[in-house]
Amino acid sequence: MQKLFDEVASLDRRCYEEFFLSEDILMEHAASGMAEYIRNNFAKNSKIIVVCGSGNNGADGIALARLLHGDFDTSLFYAKEPSSKMALLQAKRAQSVGVKESKELKDCDVLVDAIVGTGFSGEFSEELKNLINKMNSLVAFKIACDVPSGYKFIADVTLTMGALKKRMFLDEVKESVGEIKVLDLGISRDIYEKESNWSVLDLDDLKLPNRVKKDSHKGSYGHLAVVSGEMCGAGIMSALSALRFGSGLVTLVGFEKIEIPHCLMYSHKLPKNATALAIGMGLGAEFSTLELEKFLHNTLPVIADADIFYMQTILEILKRERVVLTPHAKEFVSLLKITNLADITIQEVQKNRFKYVEEFCKMFPNVTLLLKGANVIIAKGSEFYINPHGTSALAKGGSGDVLSGLIGALLAQGYQPLDAAINASLAHTKTALNYRGADFSLTPDDLIDGICRL
């Protein structure tokens, strides 16, 4: 798990004021970290172009060019003339050791974007927009210095300074950051960072529901009841996922007898020994509100998904002690509206995912919220996690039903809701990553099958 920060300027300030590390020392480490990455990954004399802006992000880039000069065919391209104190100093140093300046951009081995970093806000001029488009079109391995400039540069890797920034994990930013690596700034990252209630999950954080008890039987591993609605395939996929993820028993609950796989059970009533309930997937208009509420006359932990976010019944579910909600952005819009928290568009949610998740959790501190997307947010109370390991292979109808089944399985086996959501989400994305077929071909059945190889 790695911590996430809204801003790092205050962490830098602490370095100057409490650790007596100057801006120059920090910058030299930032540039050395980037140089080390290039030295480790590219042959001597490779052609490197560093595109620099006028501020300290540009200064990082100029320092990098100086460090590589002599061992690599390095040139500096000034998108804007240096203007910050450090950029002017770095330019003087680079010039005095003979770093070349280039007036045109061409294909190369490595293209470094050091136009702007975390100090930039606002809009680029047309000229800079065109320059970034040109950079994106070049054939080169692309490195973003600290952050991709304006999140418009499309990087293969972002070498970020000191700590991870939250903004890098917005869904739309996933398009531009590439792989993210954190560089130390002259002290260990553990000392550089402060406390944060936001973290990024690592795949290694996954704890599987491995069976350690020898003297056990199916009843030892819980019983998930999955409410089966109009689109019964959704419930079946959830139920099969739950069985694969260790739930001792899984029953589909509905009014109509449907064809189901032989490993599942079917009932018109909630089983007496159910230990968790999954509700919402493929629900459609199958049940009246009254009928739905019958399923909720108990204190079972609940995983609520999909259609339930458009129904008033969700307000009852929110009062429960153990509950996980798994909306995607559109369903979250409805949830925010029903709860009177906000009346906004999907675009507004996507631009402000962190803010609305925080507001929702403040209002419903008992609820575990999992907001789906390219980067999944999982939150409860004042604890916030991001799972960035999913890929667009998951962008297919039914992927979410599998996720709800995985969460249901862990709830049924006694996991606390936040742990259930975190571990199921990690299992979901790890299974997709393990898939060996073409990325467009992953089906919910492949996901369910892949659970057994975690």
Ligand X SMILES: Nc1ncnc2c1ncn2[C@@H]1O[C@H](COP(=O)(O)OP(=O)(O)O)[C@@H](O)[C@H]1O
3-state secondary structure (DSSP) of residue 135? helix
- The answer to whether 60 is a known ligand-binding residue is yes
Verify binding: residue 63, K ion, rule CB under 5 A: no
3-state helix, strand, coil in the chain (%, to 5): 45, 20, 40
314 lies in the binding site for ligand NPW (CB under 6 A)? no
56 labelled binding-site residue: yes
| Selected binder of ligand NPW within 4, 5, 12, 131 (CB under 6 A) | 12
CB of 85 to ligand NPW, least distance (A): 9
Choosing from 33, 117, 390, 417, the residue that interacts with ligand NPW (CB under 6 A) is 117
Residue 102, judged by CB atoms within 10 A of its CB (0-12, 13-18, 19+), counts as middle
Per-residue contact flags (x/-) with K ion for residues 134 to 153, judged by CB under 5 A: -----------x---x----
Longest dimension (CA), the chain: 82
Q: How far is CA 18 from the centre of its chain?
A: 33
Find, among 383, 453, 371, 372, the residue nearest to 416 by Cα.
383
Residue 146 interacting with ligand NPW (CB under 6 A): yes
Nearer to ligand NPW, 40 or 125 (CB): 125
Q: Would you count residue 113 as binding K ion (CB under 5 A)?
A: yes
Distance separating alpha carbons of residues 260 and 283, to the nearest angstrom: 16
* Beta strand 110-114 pairing with 141-145: parallel
Q: Is there a binding annotation on residue 178?
A: no
Q: Which residue is nearest to ligand X (CB)?
A: 400
Q: Under the criterion CB under 6 A, does residue 145 sit at the interface with ligand NPW?
A: yes
DSSP one-letter code for 6: S
The residue number with the shortest CB distance to K ion is 149
395 is in the binding site of which of ligand X, ligand NPW, K ion, none (Cβ under 5 to 8 A by kind)? ligand X
Give yes or no for residue 23 binding ligand NPW (CB under 6 A): yes
Helices (H), 245-387: 289-295, 313-317, 329-338, 346-351, 353-363
Residue 441 vs residues 11, 388, 435: alpha-carbon distances, Å:
44, 21, 10
* Binds 149: which of ligand X, ligand NPW, K ion, none (CB < 5-8 Å by kind): K ion
From the list ligand NPW, ligand X, K ion, none, pick the one residue 113 interacts with, judged by a Cβ distance below 5 to 8 Å according to partner type: K ion
Among 33, 52, 60, 254, binds ligand NPW (CB under 6 A): 60
